[in-house]
Amino acid sequence: MGMPIDRALLARPVLEVAPDLLGALLSHDGVTLRLTEVEAYAGPLDPGSHAYRGPTPRTQVMFGPPGHLYVYRSYGVHWCVNVVTGEDGTASAVLLRAAEVVEGLDLARERRQVGVATEVVDRDLARGPGRLTKALGLDAAHDGLDLFGPGAEVRLRPGPGPVGAVRTGPRVGVSGEGGDGTRFPWRFWLEDEPTVSVYRPGTRRLGRAARTGRHTSDPGKDPR
């Protein structure tokens, strides 16, 4: 990271934004996470996106300006949070898949232990999109929230330093991706991070600190 995270940064194509969010800090209600895994989705360009067939009352926020949150219920079980990206009307966004708890560890543990029979190890507190939102205390009430609005209760800001190597591969649980990720290798994660999801085949890509030029890739995608 290193650059400020603002609306202009998020207004770029989703496949440029997604890997640049790795290592960023997301804070809400006493807990701060360091993002270690994300997925890119590109609306009308992306059969895996909720916005593939156009806006609905649920997905309208994805067609709005960048910098808002799109929060949805997955399989009727847990909440998932996405950061809307791209130009106004493009419906692209980044699903936040996994993270490391760096502040508010006790509070994150307390939130994650509710309804869980065995103790949750620290590595797993935000390892997966449903766990991530639970650790932060995010739910439907945060759908549409503007990260840059006055007094915004959810904050997204750069991490403390270089992130190192970034890997890419197919997204998790999206039909038609293909085992080798050749169609949509739009999942990005930090190499050797224990908080990243278990399934992680893909090709190696250098992190921003190790790259010599601007990140480029296929056209973007959007969040399920």
The residues, ordered by sequence, that sit 6+ positions from 49 with a Cβ below 8 Å of its Cβ are: 41, 42, 43, 91, 221, 222, 223, 224
CATH for 103: 3.10.300.10
Whether 2 is covered by a domain: the verdict is: no
Residue 205: predicted pLDDT? 52
Q: How many domains does the chain have?
A: 1
Whether 171 is covered by a domain: the verdict is: no
Whether 198 is covered by a domain: the verdict is: no
Judge contact between 72 and 80, C-beta under 8 A.
yes
Give burial (CB, 10 Å; 0-12/13-18/19+) of 192: exposed
Nearest one of 142, 108, 136, 111 to 122, comparing CA atoms: 108
Q: Range of 138's domain?
A: 7-160
Residues 18-47: pLDDT tens digits?
999 999 999 999 999 999 999 999 888 888
Whether 181 is covered by a domain: the verdict is: no
pTM as predicted: 0.84
CA atoms 76, 177, 65, 154: torsion sign: positive
- The helix/strand/coil state of 174 is coil
Retrieve residue 20's tokens.
């640049």
Residue 117: predicted pLDDT? 58
- The DSSP output letter for 221 is B
Whether 216 is covered by a domain: the verdict is: no
Residue 90: predicted pLDDT? 86
Judge contact between 143 and 72, C-beta under 8 A.
yes
Whether 194 is covered by a domain: the verdict is: no
- Tokens 């360009």 belong to 45
Whether 133 is covered by a domain: the verdict is: yes
Whether 141 is covered by a domain: the verdict is: yes
- Ranges of the chain whose pLDDT falls below 70: 1-3, 115-117, 175-182, 200-224
- Provide the CA 36 distance to its chain's centre, in angstroms: 9
